[in-house]
Amino acid sequence: MLVVIGRALVHNSAMRIATLLLAAALATPALAEQSATTIKLVIHGGAGTLQPSDFTADEEAAYRERLSAALTTGYEILSAGGSAVDAVEATIRLLEDSPLFNAGKGAVFTAERRNELDASIMDGSALQAGAVAGVTVVRNPISAARAVMEKTPHVLLSGPGADAFASAQALEIVEPGYFSTERRLRALDKAQAREAAAEEAVPAGKHGTVGAVALDRQGRIAAGTSTGGMTNKRHGRIGDSPIIGAGTYANEQCGVSATGHGEYFIRHAVAFDICARLRYNGSSVGEAARQVIHEVLGPIGGTGGVIVLDRQGHHAMEFNTLGMFRGWIDDVSRKPQVEIYE
């Protein structure tokens, strides 16, 4: 009953999460008894040159509060018997609605001063996936990605076609200005000034992509990622976040969400590579994440990080930058564990 309710409400915005929690609380005893598998949620909010000196005490507290709230939201769904897909979508929606991160409201700007958003989600239990790229009016791109997964035979929709599809699915549509913030406009102006002075593209120092990987009581893994991309990117540029196997991947054994310089993550199929190392090499999540982030990406200049979760509830949060917004929660801790710096 819970899965049916969750899917029936997948395209409602304000009431969906509350209804999922209520339905899960009223689930049958048989569902509640399926508690042998550890539930877990791991999230990230971007990696980069993050140091304590970069934030005031209030600013750091705001990041920690939002990450904790996102973890709590997803955990409540999982602990009540909800699916990993439900938990991933709800968690990422909360991060997309915060101007603190580079996803949804607060997304960075393209060189043409536009906000173009990408997102993807994957249900590892069924090897089903959905993604959108370059959307400009969908308030929560992660919900549009889920709609692609569940309502179409496709994996990736982009641009105006993706926006039109989201509208047809009754997802919340906003004016493009909704995503704009003064902080991101200042970042664009600074990046373009640096680019003009150097007469070459200057990569951004921070990657504010958000992501989540969840393990539910049925042992199912789901992963999702959402981003505004790179500051000052070319109009139409698509990074790794909506690319299944690069920025997001999940199967029955492993789930990954990535953040970083997307071109490197695409070229090296980072998310898939990590899960493949578990399957074919018998690597642990920690070993696989360390190898890919530090031995594959590091030497070629690929910066960023990943969160990884396996079916046994083991997780890794690996990055080769100075910091990564990250956290986790499970049915042992029952409290959000949030970290930012190395």
Q: How would DSSP label each residue in 164-199?
A: HHHHHTT--B--GGGG--HHHHHHHHHHHHHHHHHT
* Structure tokens, 54: 């970069």
Is 209 among the catalytic positions?
yes
* Structure tokens, 117: 């958003």
Coil, helix or strand for 13? coil
What are the CA-CA distances from residue 310 to residues 70, 257, 283, 284, 286 (Å)? 20, 12, 11, 9, 10
What distance in Å separates the CA atoms of residue 260 and residue 203, rounded to the nearest whole number? 11
Coil, helix or strand for 8? helix
Query: Could you say which of 73, 91, 110, 209 is catalytic?
Result: 209
What distance in Å separates the CA atoms of residue 151 and residue 302, rounded to the nearest whole number? 35
Q: Which residues of 155-191 are buried (b: 16+ CB within 10 A; e: fewer)?
A: bbbbeeebbebbeebebbeeeeeebbbeebeebbeeb
Place of tokens 């920025």: 247
Are the C-beta atoms of 304 and 321 separated by less than 8 Å? yes
- Residue 101: which residues within 8 A CB-CB, separation 6 or more? 45, 46, 66, 95, 208, 209, 210, 325
Catalytic sites, residue numbers: 209
